[in-house]
């Protein structure tokens, strides 16, 4: 069974450009989460999808970030325009929808390392 996959693995862009990150969750996982780890700091929650619906996007830092999950399968996270402070590793995780989401084991992708120069 394929795990959570993220594309690209690395991205280097200039300030002001646009970047789109993609996450393919494990097949059948309705929960999909995006997290970000800025250098030297803890992993921070960005948002949570259940199928195609955003359940909680309170962690999104500002309106330069847009996440979508059309059809409830893969998800994209677009940063437009990118700023220097957006550099970090963006992780996606997925889990099954089983009662209370808090209890479900989340499986993480390898992450996308974004560098804004």
Q: Which residues bind other proteins (CB under 8 A)?
A: 4, 33, 35, 41-45, 48, 55-56, 58-59, 91, 100-111
Whether residue 38 contacts residue 88, with contact meaning beta carbons closer than 8 Å, is answered with yes
Nearer to other proteins, 13 or 43 (CB): 43
- Which one, of 83, 89, 76, lies nearest residue 43 by Cα? 89
Task: For 1-23, give the DSSP string.
Answer: ----EEE-SEEEE-TT--EEEEE
Q: Which is nearer to other proteins, 35 or 65 (CB)?
A: 35
From the CB of 59, what's the least distance to other proteins, in Å?
7
Of 16 and 61, which CB lies nearer to other proteins in the complex structure? 61
Question: What's the rounded Cα separation, in Å, for the pair 61 and 91?
Answer: 15
Shortest Cβ 15–other proteins spacing (Å):
26
In this structure, what token pair is assigned to residue 65? 């970030």
Q: How far is the CB of 21 from other proteins (least distance, A)?
A: 14
């Amino acid at each position: 069974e394929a795990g959570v996959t993220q594309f690209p693995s690395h991205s280097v862009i200039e300030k002001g450009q646009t970047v789109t990150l993609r996450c393919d969750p494990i097949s059948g996982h309705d929960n999909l989460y995006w997290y970000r780890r800025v250098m030297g700091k803890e992993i921070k929650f960005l948002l949570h999808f259940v199928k195609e619906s955003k359940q909680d996007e309170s962690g999104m830092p500002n309106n330069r970030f847009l996440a979508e999950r059309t059809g409830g399968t893969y998800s994209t996270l677009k940063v437009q325009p990118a700023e220097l402070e957006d550099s970090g590793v963006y992780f996606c995780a997925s889990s099954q929808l089983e009662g209370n989401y808090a209890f479900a084991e989340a499986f993480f992708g390898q992450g996308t390392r974004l560098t804004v120069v």
